[in-house]
Chain A
Amino acid sequence: MSVVIEIKNLSFSYHKQKILENINLTVKEKDFLAIIGPNGGGKSTLLKLILGINPVKEGTIRTFGEVPKKNLSKIGYVPQNTNVNTDFPIKVIEVVLMGHIGTKKPLFGYAKEETMCAMGALAQVGMEKFANVKIGELSGGQRQRVMIARALCAHPQILILDEPTSSIDIDGQKQIYELLKELNSYITIIVVSHDISVIMKYANSVVHINKKLTHHDTSSSNHFCEVKMFNRFKEKK
């Protein structure tokens, strides 16, 4: 299987504080990778580097063999906190339509193919009946499905989710993970979570990222941050 993301010797600092240090990670096609670790450990920062939101200054990241900015359309992203802004007057279908990459746009409105494609993405996550419902009227779990549909809209080869179940009830969480498992048959999936127990059941590899402060820790040679790979976690079990 081919390598879709390759990270070598990556370090990142924010306001002179090291957030990530010397990260090495390889993600292969159709992997289901979980990134776990405590809050503030640098998980979201790593995602933002992969997505090209934050610039890489030390080390390298290659997505599909190129710099992240070049392959944004091949990566679908589901951000954290999709429960904000629920008063916003917007229909489910309009949210999904945002997932189209801004290339071939009609002069105004949405092209027929775009709407069809968005409906297809909604069907993939089982939300097609809600296309014309206001986004604020959905439950947290339903809204998360819509955000996944938005990411699927551009037919990505990798789907990245940041804390996808942090504000969803237990049933909703299970449904989201079952959905991801289904999608994993043809898409590489990367999930950031601090909920270790659930993620272990679904992921086939798990990475632990934690920033450690130097002056607190003298035992480790790798002071700021450590990355532990539990490759093929399930196979070991």
Chain B
Amino acid sequence: MLDALSFPFIQNALIAGLLVSMASGIIGSLIVVNRMVFLAGGIAHTAYGGIGMAVFLGLPIFLGASVFAVAAALIISVITLKHRERMDTFIGLMWAVGMAVGVVLIDLTPGYNADFMSYLFGSILAVSQSDLYFMGGLLAGIIIIMTFWYRDILAVSYDSEYANLRGINVKFFYTLILVLSALTVVVAIKVVGLILVIALLTIPVYIAEKLSNTLYMMMTLSGIFSSIFTVIGLAISYEYDIASGASIILVSAISLFLFLGFNRFMLK
């Protein structure tokens, strides 16, 4: 199996897997503690409209998906800050319309058939050099933002009303978290596909949450677990020739069940 590492596309897949795992560990933690999982799902599916647009116009996929995802994040931010009670309706709407736009635009693209599945279930083996730059840049950006604004983001996530009283710009940080989530969702789509994005953003985070005393520790552990699951999932996918995205998610899910079982019976 180790000889596989000599293939450039396998190397790219591994690097992409690790970069996205770290990013999704950090941002997944924020999504979970802010109870935004459904929002992230909405953003992921809206991003599909962006993928359709990019295919139709012949633009880079990441660009199209990012534009739609960030727009979705900004709309969700405005809605949650103004009409919280109708939020689920709006997100459900964006979820479905984003998908529909994507499907129609891909249908309308002449000569373009298939590869439809690769966005739904990921195509980590098709990661290019420029994809890696995008992922690396995003991870670096996330780490810089979290380092300098950690305490503000912590305060807003833990108790936004109190943070507001202490003079922290809650709306800004809330929007920032959503935009970072949108960009992370976009890169995670490349690795596990948009159907499975939520699993990548939540399963490692859920395990990490149980083991962490601080948000910082939760983010670090999530990133580590996510990386381990991704590498094992990729190895299994290579060995048995199965879809990499699904393989990664199943490895994560099995680990979660083992962890929960262990937690319940051994640590009592």
Q: Interface of A with B (CB < 8 Å)?
A: 51, 53, 72, 77, 79, 85, 87-91, 94-95, 97-102, 105, 107-110, 132-134, 150
Contacts and interface: CB of A to CB of B under 8 A. Distances in A.
A133 B215 CA distance: 13
B158 A90 contact: yes
Contacts of B217: 89
Most buried by B among A53, A88, A110: A88
A53 B165 contact: yes
B161 A105 contact: no
B209 A72 contact: no
Given A98-B166, A101-B166, 13 more contacts: A79-B159, A89-B209, A89-B212, A89-B215, A89-B217, A90-B213, A94-B154, A98-B158, A98-B162, A98-B163, A99-B166, A109-B151, A150-B162
B167 A101 contact: yes
Interface in B7-61: 33
Nearest to B211: A89
Interface string B140-179: 0000000110111011011101111111100000000000
Interface residues of B, number: 26
A101 B159 CA distance: 15
Interface in B206-263: 209, 212-215, 217-218
Contacts, number: 66
B155 A98 contact: yes
B213 A132 contact: yes
Q: 4 tightest CB-CB pairs across the interface, nearest first?
A: A89-B212, A102-B167, A89-B218, A98-B155
A91 B158 CA distance: 11
A98 B159 contact: yes
Interface string B178-199: 0000000000000000000000
Contacts of B164: 53
A88 B33 contact: yes
B214 A89 contact: yes
B150 A108 contact: yes
Given A89-B214, A132-B213, A102 B168 contact: yes
A95 B166 CA distance: 13
A137 to B, nearest CB: 9
A124 to B, nearest CB: 19
Contacts of A105: 151
A140 B207 CA distance: 25
Contacts of B166: 72, 98-102
Contact of B214 (A51, A87, A90, A100): A90
Contact of B33 (A89, A109, A134): A89
A132 B151 CA distance: 16
Contacts of B158: 85, 88, 90, 95, 98
Nearest to A150: B162
Nearest to A100: B166
Given A99-B166, A101-B167, A89 B213 contact: yes
A72 B209 CA distance: 34
A99 B163 CA distance: 9
Contacts of A150: 162
A132 B214 CA distance: 10
B213 A134 contact: yes
Contacts of B215: 88-90
20 contacts: A53-B164, A72-B165, A72-B166, A79-B162, A87-B209, A88-B157, A88-B158, A88-B215, A89-B217, A90-B158, A91-B214, A98-B151, A98-B159, A98-B163, A98-B166, A99-B166, A101-B166, A102-B168, A109-B150, A109-B151
A85 B155 CA distance: 13
A74 to B, nearest CB: 12
A108 to B, nearest CB: 5
